[in-house]
Structure formats: structure tokens, C-alpha cells
């Protein structure tokens, strides 16, 4: 009888510890990431050089493994020759909002994540002086991403991952409308602070 009572107390203590740990997990977070981007299409038949971008997103976890994320991103690609001239830059900026699934890997301080979201972005075309010579206006696209979240302690994580952005917009320059099917892969490394 005494053994059963001790066993029941031990089980209750373990369960209460794990439920307290889950309640103490932070639900909010802010992630800042940056890295290289590689075009997977030719917007307006333009071959884009490798690019670079940054993204800042807020996280809110509303279930143990599911949450929402939203924020702002910027990506820049150069082009030696394009329909808009030589030495032109294509800059995509805008907003992202989506769902994130994150799951721990065993008992390690490591989780993997999967993200799917919508974009509301636009593409600006700039000349060598930095002047905007074309703007598509904002429109809808989508983003898919996957990566890992490695805990560094004290509610900080490093979050390397791979993302794919898709945006199809039209730009009018000199009375000619050109379709810019702008798709690219990005290798990102970010830092996440939970609060």
C-alpha cells in the first residue's frame, strides 16, 4: 500500500512539473533573419544574379506545436542586362502572414519548423543611381519555409532555414507591360527571441 501511494505521488509530481514547464513556455517571439537568395525564374526574361535579403517576423504560438507568424521582408537582386536596361536592381519588399508548425526532436534543444504563408509584396526596379524606374504595386503571392530552431538558452534560438517565395506581378515601363514572375529560394540564418 505504501509503495502504491509513493508511486502515485511521484507520477503526480512528474505530471505537474511537465504541465508547469508547458505553461512557462513563451508564446510570443521576434525573429530577425538574413541570407543569400537565388532566383528560380527569369522575371521579364531577365537573368538575375544571386541576391540577399532580410526578414523580421513576429510569432505567436496558440497551440503546443502550431502558431501564426507575420512580418516584413526585403530582397535585392542585381541584373547585368534586362528589359529595363543594364546594371539594374530588382527589389522585392512587403509583408508575410502565415501558419507555423514546430515540433521538438527528442529531448534535444532542437525543433524543426514548417511554414506556409501569404505574401503582399511589390517589386521595384532601380537604376545604377538608385532611382526607382519601375514599380509593380503590391499583390498577393505565397511563401513556403522549413528549418530548425536550436535553443541557445535564456529564450534565444538560432533558426537556420530554407524558404521559397513566389510572386507574379506586372510592371509598365514606357507604355510596355512586362510580366515579372519572381520566384526564388533563400538560405536564411536568424535569431529568435521569445518573450
State the pLDDT confidence band at 25, using cuts at 50, 70 and 90: confident
Is 143 contained in some domain?
Answer: yes
Is 18 contained in some domain?
Answer: no
User: Residue range 41-46: average pLDDT?
Assistant: 93
Is 8 contained in some domain?
Answer: no
**By the 8 A CB rule, do 92 and 163 touch?**
no
Is 147 contained in some domain?
Answer: yes
Is 17 contained in some domain?
Answer: no
Domain tally, the chain:
1
Is 98 contained in some domain?
Answer: yes
State the pLDDT confidence band at 14, using cuts at 50, 70 and 90: very low
Q: Provide the pLDDT for residue 119.
A: 98
User: Residue range 25-44: average pLDDT?
Assistant: 95
Q: What is the CATH number of the domain that holds 61?
A: 2.40.160.20
Adjacent-strand bridge partners of 75: 53, 92
For the whole model, what pTM was predicted? 0.83
Q: Provide the domain limits for residue 72.
A: 26-194
Distance of alpha carbon 114 from its chain centroid, rounded?
Answer: 10
Is 37 contained in some domain?
Answer: yes
Is 3 contained in some domain?
Answer: no
Amino acid at each position: 500500500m505504501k509503495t502504491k501511494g509513493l508511486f502515485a505521488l511521484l507520477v503526480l509530481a512528474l505530471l505537474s512539473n511537465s504541465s508547469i514547464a508547458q505553461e512557462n513556455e513563451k508564446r510570443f517571439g521576434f525573429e530577425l533573419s538574413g541570407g543569400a537568395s537565388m532566383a528560380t525564374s527569369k522575371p521579364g526574361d531577365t537573368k538575375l544574379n544571386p541576391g540577399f535579403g532580410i526578414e523580421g517576423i513576429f510569432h505567436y504560438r496558440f497551440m503546443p506545436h502550431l502558431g501564426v507568424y507575420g512580418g516584413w521582408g526585403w530582397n535585392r537582386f542585381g541584373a547585368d542586362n534586362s528589359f529595363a536596361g543594364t546594371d539594374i536592381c530588382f527589389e522585392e519588399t512587403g509583408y508575410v502572414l502565415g501558419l507555423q508548425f514546430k515540433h521538438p526532436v527528442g529531448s534535444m534543444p532542437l525543433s524543426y519548423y514548417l511554414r506556409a504563408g501569404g505574401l503582399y509584396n511589390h517589386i521595384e526596379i532601380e537604376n545604377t543611381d538608385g532611382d526607382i524606374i519601375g514599380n509593380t504595386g503590391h499583390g498577393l503571392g505565397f511563401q513556403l519555409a522549413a528549418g530548425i530552431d536550436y535553443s541557445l538558452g535564456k529564450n534565444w534560438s538560432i533558426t537556420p532555414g530554407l524558404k521559397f517565395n513566389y510572386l507574379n506581378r506586372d510592371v509598365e515601363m514606357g507604355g510596355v507591360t512586362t510580366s515579372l514572375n519572381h520566384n526564388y529560394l533563400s538560405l536564411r540564418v536568424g535569431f529568435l527571441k521569445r518573450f
